[in-house]
Amino acid sequence: MNTTALPAKPALLALGVWQYSVLETVDSTNAHAALLPPWVAVRAQTQTAGRGRAPGRAWVSDRGGLWLSAVLPCPGPRSRWETLPLAAGWAVVKAVRERGVPGARLRWPNDVMVEGAKLAGVLVERHSPETAVVGVGLNIFNRPEQTDADLAGQCTTLSHFVGGQFSVDQIALEVLRALQVAHGMLVAGRFAEIADELNSAWGGLRHVEVTFNRGERPTIGVFHGVDQHGRLRLTTNAHGLHAYEATQIELFRELST
């Protein structure tokens, strides 16, 4: 697939249902996509202000990685789309696994992990009542540890696991196709199937440290995956087994693999 990166007003390429374009450098592809219509996706060669889910959390976006934002239609009640962030993470895991990394899994709620290292992150934002922007940062050929030495050993790249010739645009297309599948499953009311696959990939119970938004001290518990509504299932000494909305959790850290 040949695409031409232009600094402004790039040509849109038709990729199935998607309209896709490539920019040279932007501050954030999610910010760029905020006012775009559904089924439009944009990627950048580099980002100057890539960000994660947590406030103030930056994402190194050097050349050779996939920095992609895709706009999905989300009509109807907002509650209908509360599981979209998990579904989008599932889609990225699906694309990575199909590319040849069977050990990829989601670290709740939005990091794609392989062998204990971070491969990708997902950030879903709502700028309009009728759409959602799904931002995907996926390390492919880039070397984020060369930009930030603290990332050495903490992150990994797709090219580390997958041989053969492929391009960033090919991976972008595979991710977009997977996002389309995930969206269709939510429309059809099939999130329970996504939850089952996520829970299976998590591989059993995990000890975690959780900080709630109530201002309490961090709590040690056992992570049981997510339920059919996308809520985190956690056992703690204080509350036993309970299901929590993502908005109730400020920080989530795995203590064991």
pLDDT (tens digit per residue) in 111-120: 999 988 999 9
With both helix axes pointing from N to C terminus, report the angle between 168-187 and 191-202 in degrees, rounded to the nearest 10. Answer: 130
Check if the beta carbon of residue 231 is closer than 8 Å to that of residue 244: yes
pLDDT more than 70, % of the chain: 87
Rounded Cα gap, residues 121 and 135, in angstroms: 8
What local confidence, expressed as pLDDT, does residue 204 receive? 74
Tell me the pLDDT tens digit for each residue of 54-113.
555 566 778 999 999 999 999 999 989 999 999 999 999 999 999 999 999 999 988 999
Check if the beta carbon of residue 141 is closer than 8 Å to that of residue 157: yes
Could you count the other beta carbons within 10 Å of the beta carbon of residue 255? Answer: 12
**In degrees rounded to 5, what are phi and psi of residue 82?**
-65, -25
Q: Tokens in use for 103?
A: 């050990």
Q: Tokens in use for 28?
A: 């954030």
What local confidence, expressed as pLDDT, does residue 244 receive? 92
Parallel/antiparallel/unpaired status of strands 206-212 and 249-254? antiparallel
Q: Is this model's pTM higher than 0.85 or not?
A: yes
H-assigned helices in the chain: 29-32, 84-99, 144-147, 158-161, 168-187, 191-202
What local confidence, expressed as pLDDT, does residue 9 receive? 46
**Residue range 218-247: mean pLDDT, rounded:** 92
What local confidence, expressed as pLDDT, does residue 118 receive? 93
Give 55 or 43, the one with higher predicted confidence.
43
Rounded Cα gap, residues 45 and 168, in angstroms: 9
Exposed, middle or buried, 127 (CB in 10 Å: 0-12/13-18/19+)? middle
Tell me the pLDDT tens digit for each residue of 129-168.
999 999 999 999 998 776 666 666 679 999 999 987 899 9
Q: Tokens in use for 38?
A: 């559904």
Domains (ranges, CATH) in the chain?
13-200 (3.30.930.10), 204-254 (2.30.30)
What local confidence, expressed as pLDDT, does residue 4 receive? 33
CA 169 to the chain's CA centroid: 17
